[in-house]
Amino acid sequence: MPVEHNEFRSVVHGVANDAGGRVDTRHEPHGGGAIAVLSGRPLLPNTGIPINLDWVREVRVNTSAVERRTQSHVARRTVKKEWQAAWLLRAITCMDLTTLSGDDTDERVRRLCAKARHPIQQELEQKLGIEELQIKVAAVCVYHTFVETALHALEGSGVHVAAVSTGFPAGLSPLAERVNEIRRSVEAGAHEIDVVITRAHVFGGRWQALYDEVAAFKQACGSAHMKVILGAGDLLTLRNVGRASVVAMMAGADFIKTNGGGFQAGGRHSHGEAVHRVAGDDQRGARAVVAAGGNVPLRRQRLAE
């Protein structure tokens, strides 16, 4: 890449300030209890607000507008050269590396943690002149069984350990069991908990039941950050996705994820756009960070997000 190292490092740091300072700080010591930084200020965990069913029913998503917007994202030119590389590096620091396979082993988790500590090849770091930036991912996400393994493998790195919970991916086990599952992972040392919602509550418009469910999850999480996986590919309409997002924010979601690994119905770019539009609005004090969940197969598409 024909760019001086000092110039490139300044570009990388500049990227953090572009995009309104929306930077994942989960692995930074000074981040404290903040889940991210918004416009230069720490974004504190979402404590939730009482549900207002009128606000939920008011949510509308213009499907045709969302589809047009998402098509324009992947068609237009993205940033180029050193700026593109800088944005890709920033994206790495916001990623959760995940292994959620039925054949997972301790050794596989340790390998993933090693990748989380050093996601970029040393040779490439030297060519870019970014060794001192110590680029690493934000978290490693595993099943509860492997929380202890991940904690030991990531000790001292600042990379968080996230545990999928609440009967992931279906989320159909009894509520008491799902809540206890969260508590066990928190007691084991997980920094973040990924929960899945009961999609039937969305289909039936049972917003109070969905709110109560997510609020119970939030209480069980304690000081751990809670990421609510919507399973957007299962929710059929973008309006359902939008309304479920609002309820999750009211109930205390720190992060809203469109989808996750292990879902038969995959997420679409339009799901992320719909959630972003709803979560970006002022929800009377409820605020959450939006995360595109699932695989990331297209670099250019995800950069557009």
**Structure confidence by residue, pLDDT tens digits, 139-176:** 999 999 999 999 999 999 999 999 999 999 999 999 99
The model's pLDDT over 213-254, given as tens digits with 9 standing for 90+, comes to 999 999 999 999 999 999 888 898 999 999 999 999 999 999
DSSP 286: B
Residue 93, domain extent:
5-304
Lowest mean pLDDT among 8-22, 137-151, 188-202, 240-254: 8-22
Long-range contacts of 44-48 (CB under 8 A, 24+ apart): 45/225, 45/254, 46/249, 46/252, 46/253, 46/254, 46/286, 46/287, 46/288, 47/252, 48/215, 48/218, 48/250, 48/251, 48/252, 48/286
Statement: residue 136 has pLDDT above 70? yes
pLDDT of residue 166: 96
Crossing angle of helices 5-17/81-93, nearest 10°?
60
> pLDDT grade, residue 297 (50/70/90)?
very low
Strand partners, 193: 163, 226
Is residue 182 within 8 Å of 165, Cβ to Cβ?
yes
How high is the pLDDT of residue 120? 93
Output the average pLDDT for the chain.
82
Q: How confident is the model at residue 262 (pLDDT cuts 50, 70, 90)?
A: low
22-56 residue pLDDT tens: 344 454 443 457 776 666 778 788 999 999 999 99
Under the banding of pLDDT at 50, 70 and 90, the label for residue 65 is confident
Determine the pLDDT at residue 259: 78
Q: Is the pLDDT of residue 267 over 70?
A: no
Q: What is the CATH number of the domain that holds 145?
A: 3.20.20.70
Residue 176: the pLDDT is 97
Structure tokens at 92: 């790495």
Q: Which residues pair with 196 in a beta bridge?
A: 229
Q: What is the pLDDT of residue 109?
A: 98
pTM of this structure: 0.83
Q: Among 9-13, 126-130, 205-209, which stretch is predicted with the lowest mean pLDDT?
A: 9-13
How many domains are contained in the chain?
Answer: 1
What mean pLDDT do residues 277-303 have? 55
Look at residue 240 in the predicted model and tell me its pLDDT.
Answer: 93
